[in-house]
Amino acid sequence: MIDKYQHFTLESLTPKLGAEVHGVDLARVSADLFAELADAFHRHLVLVFRDQELTRAEHKRFARLFGPLQLHPAKTRLGMPGDPEIFDIKINADTQVANGEDWHTDLSCEPVPPKASALYITQVPPSGGGDTLFANMQEAYATLSRPVRDMLLKLTAYHSGYKDLRAYGLVPSPEQIYPCANHPVVIAHPESGKPVLFVNEPFTEKINELTAKESAAMLEMLYRHIQINTRLHCRVRWARNTLVLWDNRAVHHHAIWDYYPESRQGERVTIQNDAPPKAFINNHGDGELWRR
């Protein structure tokens, strides 16, 4: 499907997730153009922009149109060098653990996780590969059975930044405090009001209201549901100077590392959300009306 806005043309990737935006220079975004981009972002959750020539300052300036930038805790808490507003992506033959290989949402360990992420890829593997998969977490919740949906509404989960660090072999010193937070398992999207499944394997440590075994079994079922249910997914094939903007509250992503020993490089900025995630409250009784 191709949608025509006044300032650009938009081609959807799937009916429920993702779109490519054609005819936009992200280094020069007027107020009228931004209003249309914000509408497309709300509708499609993942926006792909090709052939962008952006400096780091222009990358950040575009992202700031959607809100203040979020500082990465690896820079502010662990003392890693570099601009705290930019997370650099550098995967090569020496990389031991690639960023984003598990389905996740960025920094859900924060008390206020990011609103959105904007990843700008400047180097792609010459032989191809390195695609990113995205999954619609509104649809992930909707496609569960009603008894499971009803149960999840009563639950909260503990998200630990330390769990994510362990996957990369990083152990903070005792004085380095990394973010951790409790969030509802099902949150209400702050703009659409729709319920969103909000657990992910890199950060979610446990479901608080369940026993350890029950929590592990429930989380494994939910992760498996996200991984194998391809109707939730769209796929972005990267090319040099492509920027992808996604709604971090409603979308998971998975970076495919299928290009070893070749290299992939880029930078990501994250955009602050206005408030912590709030639990979805089903006021309809039948559990179905919200899907209309």
Q: Give the catalytic positions in this structure.
A: 104, 106, 253, 268
Q: How far is CA 210 from the centre of its chain?
A: 26
Beta carbons within 10 angstroms of residue 196's beta carbon: 26
Positive or negative torsion for Cα 276, 282, 288, 292: negative
Looking at this protein, which amino acid is placed at residue 134?
Answer: F
- Going from the C-alpha of 49 to that of each of 31, 234, 256, the distances in angstroms are 18, 15, 19
CB 229 within 8 A of CB 25: no
3-state secondary structure the chain: CEEECCCCEEEECCCCCCEEEECCCCCCCCHHHHHHHHHHHHHHCEEEECCCCCCHHHHHHHHHCCCCEECCHHHHCCCCCCCCCCEEEEECCCCCCCCCCCCECCCCCCCCCCCEEEEEEEECCCCCCCCEEEEEHHHHHHCCCHHHHHHHCCCEEEEEHHHHHHHCCCCCCCCCCCCEEEEECEEECCCCCCEEECCCCCCEEEECCCCHHHHHHHHHHHHHHHHHCHHHEEEECCCCCEEEEEECCCEEEEECCCCCCCCEEEEEEEECCCCCCCECCCCCCCCCHHHC
